[in-house]
Structure formats: C-alpha cells, structure tokens
Structure 1
Amino acid sequence: MPPQSDTNLRKPEHGSDVPQFFTWEEIGLRSGKGSSKQERWLVIHRKVYDVSQFHLRHPGGPRVINHYAGQDATDAFTAFHKNEDLVRKYLSSLQIGQLAPDQRSCEPHKNEMLVKDFRELHSTVKKMGLMKPSYGFFLFMFMHAFLLDVAAWVTIWYFGKSWVPFLVGMALFTVGQIQYGFLQHDLGHVSVFQNTKWNRISHFIVIGILKGGPPSQWNHMHNQHHAKPNCFRKDPDLNMHPFLFSLGKALSVELGKKKMKYMPYQYQHSYFAFFAPTTFVIAVQLLIFRFTIQRKKWLELAFILIYMIRVCLMYVPIMGFKSFMAFYWIARFLESAWFLWVSQMSHIPMNIDYDQNLDWVSTQLAATCNVDQSLFNDWYTGHLNFQIEHHLFPTMPRHNYWKAAPLVKSLCAKHGIQYQCKPLLTAFADILRSLKKSGQYWQEAYLHG
C-alpha cells in the first residue's frame, strides 16, 4: 500500500550500506506542501537526492533547484551543467537512495518515450560537436559591439552634440549595448569558452564594466526562467503579472474572478510598447542596487560603479551633463524596448500557466517559439530567433542552433509536438494580439465571473 502521509514515509538511512529505494509518490510527498519538514528531494538519472540544505549553496541560485523539488530533474541538470562528471562529485554526498526498480525513469504522467528520445538527441548533438564554440565567431561578435561603442563616442567627439550627431551617436551606443547584452547572455550560459571558469570571469567583466549589471543577479533570475519558462511563480520573467500585465488565459481568468485590477488590462496591448520598456529601465536600475547591497556583492557593485564612471568620463566632458542624461536614458529606453520585443516575441504568445510538471521537451516547447532565420534576424535577435533550440540546449553556442533545428523538428514531428516558427513582424504582432486576448479574458471574468 503506498504511503498516505508524511509520517508514514521511510526515512533514508545515510549511514547504511543498504540501498534505499523510493517511489515517485514518496518523493512527491516528501517535497510537497504537505511535508512537515520543508524537505526538498529530486531525481537525477534515477538517483534520489536530498537538497534541503544544499539549495542554499547552489551556485545557480537556491530557487532554480527548488523548482524541481519532488520532480525528475535529469534533463534540467544535463542542460545547465556543462561538465556533468565534475558536478556529480558534489552530488554524491547528497544522494539518499534511488528509484525502486519497478519505477519509471520519469514521473508516471510523463511521456517516457519522448524523454528517452530527447536524451538520445542530446547525446547526438554532443557527438556532432554542436556544444563546442567557435572562438572566431565570438571574437567577431565582441569586436563589432566594441567598435560600435567606440564609434558612438567618436561621433559626438568629432561632430559635436547637435541633433544629427546626437541621434547617430545615440543609435550607435544603443546597438553596441544590445550586442554587448547578447554577448553577456552567451557568457552567462557558459557557451563562449569550453572552460566554465573563463566563461564566468568574462561574464563578470562584460556584464559589469561594459553593461553595468551584476552577474549573480542575472544568473539567479535567468536560470529560473530557463528551468520553468512561462510557469507562474517560478519564472521571474512573469513577475510583471499581475501588477502591470495580465498574461495567459488561465492566469487572466483567475485574476478576473478574484476581482483584481492593478491596471486596465483590457488596454494592455495599447500601453505595452511605451510602458513596458519605461518600467523595465527604472526597475532594472533599482533592482541592481537592491540586489548587490542586500546580498553584499561588493565586487559586483564596484564593477557597476566603474561602468557608470566610465560612461560619464567618456561623454560628459564632450557634451555636458544635461545632454548626456538625455543621450543615456533615451538610449537605455531604446535598448530595453529592443530587448523586450525580442525576448517576449517567443514567450508571451505561448502557454502561460502554473507549473504542470511536464517533461523537459514539452515544458520548453509549450513556452517558446522560433522566428525565421536570416542574417538580419540572427544578428538583430542575438540568435534568439532560435528560442526553441536555445531553451532545449542552453549551453549550446548560438552559432550552432541552426544545425540542431532540423533534429529538433524531427523529434517534435515524431511525438506530435507543435514546433512553431514565424516571420519576425508576425512574432512582434503576436505579442500585442496575445496581450489583447488576455485582457479580454480578464475583463470577461472580472465582469461576469
């Protein structure tokens, strides 16, 4: 008879040589809301780990590992860790047992064949060398961003601060910053260098001195997004729901039935283009300082201040403080708008709901879609037009996404999973269409629910 309560569960004997076997139900109960001890168990390659204390020391942040409590974390573990053998050494002390022989390798409600096929696909892309970076490609991406950054300053220095050089310089500065942003994204995903350490060091420098942001905050937020995309209360990118926007049918109906109204959501498609980047610029600046000070990330804070001093010393002497403030904050607004449209075109139109504990492939495909490939689209989006491949293989260098795409399409076709790909302008329009539809769901539930 399966256990019915937390008190009936078998307790692991850490000092025993006898292997402990557990069922999925036991693991779920240990990690669920009904557990009296706030335990966190998860499964990786059929081995059961107790991360109740370790999650606080997890390099990827405590929340990302919490999001898989009571679940199979095998594919997430493989996706995030470039050197699995090294990480397993640290995991060994956390192992408390393994799945019982009669238990499936994934939870009973998941498609075991899809899980098996994806793990074979992951092995295939590694054997094909698609996880190996091209240093020449990333050197080019850095140099072109650096030259844009320099060209922005040279334009103002040489031509002055009249309207034409002001606008040209601001455009160059904005493009340089967004391209730095895409590069730090690559470094954060440890996809630029084979060695994880070099990725971490370079990420620290690029996001700090060239972008003015803290790497630990990016890791904390972005790892959660990749672990559970479009899952409310697990994906930080959904924190704008419900305070600014009502997202997805299920959450919008729930919000409406509760008679909650922070904003006029029926008009959110109209105010997204201006309100979203404006709020994003302000929120990011405030959160950066709050995060670094609260968590005592003093070196990261120092790098952020170095960035601010750097741009002030570059521009204030040649254009004055007031002109620089206009130059800088307009550029930040444009950069934020660029980033939001690119990042949200693949997520807002997709399914948004609470975590359904789907398998890795289904989780990522339900929350992401692609945009057509072209040289411009690749450059303009930082290759995030291949959002599906990026989410399935987050450590894959972006120049290899197009090579993995046909393999992913075949996997989706075999298992009847929709693989969405659309033109760039259609993807942008779908953001507004989705916001409008979600606003209508909210209004209907608010008025009649």
Structure 2
Amino acid sequence: MGKGGRKVENGYDTTSVKSFSWDEIQKHNKKTDSWIVLNGKVYNVTNFMKKHPGGARVLSSYGGQDATDVWTAMHNDKDFVGKYLKPLYIGDVLDYNVTEVQKDFRELQKYVENNNLLRVKPMFYVAHLVSILLLEVAGYLILSRLGTSWLPYLAAVMCFVVSQAQAGWLQHDFGHLSVFNSRKLNHIAHHLIIGHIKGASSHWWNFRHFLHHAKPNIIKVDPDVEVANLFLLGETLPKLFGQKKRGFMPYNFQHIYFFLLTPLLLPTYFVYENLYFVVKRRDYWDLFFTLTFFYRMFATLTPILGVWGVIGLFVFERTIESHWFVWCTQMSHIPNEVDFDASKDWFKLQLDSTCNVAPSFFNDWFSGHLNYQIEHHLWPMMPRHNFKKIAPLVESLCKKHDIQYRCKPSLLSAFGDVVRSLEDSGEIWYNAYYEGLH
C-alpha cells in the first residue's frame, strides 16, 4: 500500500483501476486516439507518439493491439523505458489471455536473455570494422600506385563495393542497438558508420527500418512494400489494383524490369531521398555526417581521377552495390505474404513475412547474416553472431505449432524466388485488370 491508502503494484497506482474489453481497446486504433497493450496493461499513447524515439508511426501501427512482444524485442533498456509508460497507464485488459504460441515464444525470450544471447562478442565487430577500413584503403592505394587503367580501376572499384556493402551490414547492427549495451553509444556509432562511411542519414534509416520491423510486409505500414508506383507485391495488392484499374506500369512485366531498376536504387533514389529527408527536417547533424563522407571521397580521389572521375566512380560503385543490397534484403520478404494488417501476434507475423537461407560462411558474410532473417526479425537487437544458436529452437517451436519455417537451400534459389514471386504477382494483376478474377 502507498501513502494515503493508495494501492501500488510494481510502481503503478492501481487504487481505482479500470478494466477494458478487447472490443473497447480495438476501437482506439487511430493516430488521434491510440491505445496499446503491454503485458495486460492498457496505455494511452496518443499524446506520446510524437515524442517516441522510434517515430509516431511505429506506435500508431499497434494502436488497439497487444504490443507486448514487439515492445520487448525493440527495447534493451526496459526499466528506463518503463518510467515513461507509467503516466500513460489507464487500466488493465479484462481477462487478458495469451495464446499457446505467445506463451511458448515468451518462454523462448526468457531463454535468450538467461543464456546471454543478447550479449555481443566485441572482437567480431572490431574485425568487421577493420576489414571495411582496410578495403577502402586498398582501393585508394591501387588507384594511387597502380594508375587508372581498366584493370586497377576495376580492382579498386571492387574494393570499394565490398567495403561499402559490408559497412551497410555493420551500420545495420548499430542501428538495431545490437553492439553496445548503451543506447547512446550505439547511436553515436551508427551516425559515424552510416553517415561518415556510407554517406546516409541515421534518422532516415531509423524511420524506415523500424517501421519495417514493427509490421513487415504490411500494406500501408511497411515502407519496403509501399512501391506500388513500380511494383505490386503479394496477392492482395495486384488484385485490388487490377480490379480498380489503378497503376500505370505494365506489372505483368515487373519481373523483367526489376533487373533494370534494381541498379538505380542506391546511386539515385536513396541519395535523393536521404538529402530530401535531412533538408526537410532540418536534421543538420545527419547532414553534417553525410557531407563528411562526400568531402572525404572528393578530397582523396579528385587528385587521381578529377571531379567527374570521382562522380563516375561513385555512381559505378553504388550501381554494383545496389544489386548486392537489393537481392540480399528482398530475398527474405518479397516471396512471402504481403497483406493488410490482420493484428497477428508477433511470432506468427514474422514467420509469415520472412524466410531464411541456408547458413554457410559465405552466405553469412555475403548477406550480413540476413540469411537468418527470421531470427533477426524475432530479436532485432540480438548480435548476429548468435543467430545460429537460437535458430534450431525457433524451428522447433514452429514445428510444435504447425507454423511454416521457410529456409531456402541457397542464395540463388532465394534470388530466383524473388523473380518468380514478381512474375506471379504481375500475372494476378493482369488477370484482374483485363480478364477478371478466375
């Protein structure tokens, strides 16, 4: 009991607790009126959303839903974050129950925490960073010592490609707060890696990527599937666009022009979107780090290649890297279910929208361990060198509850499924648009 006869449980004043039914909670699912549920407690996050470090859209995507597992997965400082929740607490869920899948997954979550699978091996990331910097230095030395004829030029470009691609996987780790125990140190490192080494905005990446993780492959939430101006993914959107005669692309050929547009993502669209994002939001800190990347690139390479030569090298390198990035990131999502939000529990949502590729030294390195996409989505803050330890237990849990655990036998088979999926979606659109649904 607290002072004045107040009843306090776990720091919450429960003197006059209200109870809400799920029917009532689900009504509060708008940006202007949003409630979420965590461990059976109801929180009104309407006025807090704009202050949320992960962005307002992440919170609003769980309005009227149980966000317990996504909250657990996304926060490594739960005691600290919990202090912000207490003023938002408005009551409890009436007859709060969880499914057997949720119970088993939460037991698995305890296993992860108790067996230190969220603890990092520092030398793994030190070695990774050193290899990235050495490759960049090697590219510069090849050009400065061996000249700019076609063979050393190509060798240098490949050094830059590998360095940039691996830096992309490294910034991904820092962005997910999976390297340092301190949130602040992870953020600083993320600014340095994605800004100074990659030339992109940390806040822009967080804005897109956290939404993707909160609701992967969910239409109108996940920005990675909001590409209807160019591609229609899954089965639902192609049917809708076909029936309503929407869109202006020949989507029945999207599996072909995918090869033509893939190389343009990094050297054109992402450069534009990054600069637009930081300028529009007056994010001068991110703009500073982005400019240091371009300053370093021009300062070191202009004496060798000239200004236009540096621009040409940048576009050439990013074009090759774009292939690497797109195929590795999309092989685990495009071939899977893409649909509107059905309020699935965290475990089922991730398994329906993601898949793995068989592990090997090359596959792990080449994809930045994104071949363990299922485990990464279930525990975004888990250091990637620990995915192989938890993967068998995840697969076992799937078998117990008859949930499909997809694991492709090779990178090439996973890449092929991307093309086949695009072709199938295009055919669905074509039939709906021209012939009606069969």
| TM norm structure 1 | 0.92
Choose which of 84, 88, 97 in structure 2 pairs with 1:104: 97
Specify the alignment match of 1:109 in structure 2: none
Report the 3-state secondary structure (helix = DSSP H, G, I; strand = E; otherwise coil) of the residue aligned with 1:69: coil
Please state how far the C-alpha of 1:59 moved relative to its aligned partner.
Answer: 0.3
Matched-pair identity in %: 44
Which amino acid is 2:196 matched to? I
Please state how far the C-alpha of 1:261 moved relative to its aligned partner.
Answer: 3.0
Which amino acid is 1:113 matched to? E
Specify the alignment match of 2:80 in structure 1: 86
- Displaced runs of 4+ in structure 1, greater than 3 A? 14-17
Choose which of 280, 285, 291 in structure 1 pairs with 2:271: 285
Kept in 2: contact 1:160–1:319 (CA 8 A): no
Deviates more, 1:195-204 or 1:381-390: 195-204
Choose which of 17, 20, 23 in structure 2 pairs with 1:22: 20
Kept in 2: contact 1:225–1:237 (CA 8 A): yes
Matched, 1:358 2:341: no
Choose which of 161, 175, 184 in structure 2 pairs with 1:197: 184
**Whole-angstrom distance in 2 between the partners of 1:280 and 1:213:** 10
Matched, 1:392 2:370: no
Please state how far the C-alpha of 1:30 moved relative to its aligned partner.
Answer: 2.4
Specify the alignment match of 2:248 in structure 1: 262
Report the 3-state secondary structure (helix = DSSP H, G, I; strand = E; otherwise coil) of the residue aligned with 2:344: coil
1:204-215 matched pairs, under 5 angstroms: 204-215=191-202
Please state how far the C-alpha of 1:15 moved relative to its aligned partner.
Answer: 9.9
Matched, 1:330 2:316: yes
Specify the alignment match of 1:229 in structure 2: 216
Unaligned stretches of 5+ residues in structure 1: 1-13, 106-111
Please state how far the C-alpha of 1:277 moved relative to its aligned partner.
Answer: 2.9
**Whole-angstrom distance in 2 between the partners of 1:176 and 1:169:** 11
Kept in 1: contact 2:142–2:155 (CA 8 A): yes
Matched, 1:156 2:156: no
Kept in 1: contact 2:398–2:404 (CA 8 A): yes
Choose which of 129, 132, 139 in structure 2 pairs with 1:145: 132
Aligned length: 424
Please state how far the C-alpha of 1:405 moved relative to its aligned partner.
Answer: 0.2
Please state how far the C-alpha of 1:195 moved relative to its aligned partner.
Answer: 1.8
Specify the alignment match of 2:54 in structure 1: 60
Matched, 1:406 2:396: no
Specify the alignment match of 2:402 in structure 1: 416
**Whole-angstrom distance in 2 between the partners of 1:154 and 1:163:** 15
Which amino acid is 2:429 matched to? W
Please state how far the C-alpha of 1:256 moved relative to its aligned partner.
Answer: 0.6
**Whole-angstrom distance in 1 between the partners of 2:267 and 2:34:** 36
Matched, 1:244 2:230: yes
Report the 3-state secondary structure (helix = DSSP H, G, I; strand = E; otherwise coil) of the residue aligned with 1:261: coil
Please state how far the C-alpha of 1:314 moved relative to its aligned partner.
Answer: 1.1
Specify the alignment match of 1:126 in structure 2: 113
Unaligned stretches of 5+ residues in structure 2: 1-11
**Whole-angstrom distance in 2 between the partners of 1:123 and 1:302:** 41
Specify the alignment match of 1:6 in structure 2: none
Please state how far the C-alpha of 1:446 moved relative to its aligned partner.
Answer: 0.5
Please state how far the C-alpha of 1:121 moved relative to its aligned partner.
Answer: 0.3
Kept in 2: contact 1:19–1:97 (CA 8 A): yes
Specify the alignment match of 1:170 in structure 2: 157
Specify the alignment match of 1:50 in structure 2: 44
Please state how far the C-alpha of 1:16 moved relative to its aligned partner.
Answer: 8.8
Report the 3-state secondary structure (helix = DSSP H, G, I; strand = E; otherwise coil) of the residue aligned with 1:194: coil
Kept in 1: contact 2:42–2:91 (CA 8 A): yes
Report the 3-state secondary structure (helix = DSSP H, G, I; strand = E; otherwise coil) of the residue aligned with 2:232: coil
| TM norm structure 2 | 0.95
Deviations 1:217-275 (A, max 9, x none): 111110000000000110010121x1011111111111111112321111111111221
Specify the alignment match of 1:367 in structure 2: 353
Please state how far the C-alpha of 1:293 moved relative to its aligned partner.
Answer: 1.3
Matched, 1:379 2:372: no
**Whole-angstrom distance in 1 between the partners of 2:248 and 2:119:** 46
Report the 3-state secondary structure (helix = DSSP H, G, I; strand = E; otherwise coil) of the residue aligned with 2:66: coil
Specify the alignment match of 2:334 in structure 1: 348
Specify the alignment match of 1:446 in structure 2: 433
Specify the alignment match of 2:4 in structure 1: none
Specify the alignment match of 2:32 in structure 1: 38
Which amino acid is 2:165 matched to? I
Report the 3-state secondary structure (helix = DSSP H, G, I; strand = E; otherwise coil) of the residue aligned with 2:65: coil
**Whole-angstrom distance in 2 between the partners of 1:389 and 1:317:** 46
Task: Classify 1:15/1:386 alpha carbon distance in 2 versus 1 (closer, same or farther; 3 Å).
Answer: closer
**Whole-angstrom distance in 1 between the partners of 2:26 and 2:332:** 31
